[in-house]
Amino acid sequence: MSESKTIDARDTFCPGPLMELITYMKQANVGDTLELLSTDNGTASDVPEWIKKVGHEMVSSEKVGEVWHLTVRKTK
């Protein structure tokens, strides 16, 4: 059964949030969903770029106040 997890990488700078996401992605199972919270604006474009390159799924990207909520799904 797939799981969802939230990774709080607020107040860390590039490439900290992306590295956090990648660390958790390695540990996740196929089908799991990860939500990354980040206050680093560059992360909002870096994460979709990384997802596209490595072939996972970008579920959603939304900025709520000062915080980006980037949701991705592990597909392989």
Partner 1 sequence: MSQHLHIICVTGTREKLQMAAMFASVAAATGDQVSVFFSMNALPFFVKDSTDEVPVEGRFGELMEQEVGVPPFKQLFKHASELGDAKLLPCSMALDLLKISEEALDPELGPPTGLTRFLSDAEGGQLLTF
Burial of 44 (0-12, 13-18, 19+ CB in 10 A): middle
Catalytic site includes residue 48: no
Question: Interaction with partner 1 in 21-40: which residues (CB under 8 A)?
Answer: 22-23, 26
SS3 call for 30: coil
The dihedral of CA 4, 9, 15, 19: what is its sign? negative
Q: Rule CB under 8 A: which of 37-76 touch partner 1?
A: 46, 50, 53-54
Among positions 7, 12, 33, 57, the unique one binding partner 1 when judged by CB under 8 A:
12
Q: Which residues bind partner 1 (CB under 8 A)?
A: 11-16, 18-19, 22-23, 26, 46, 50, 53-54
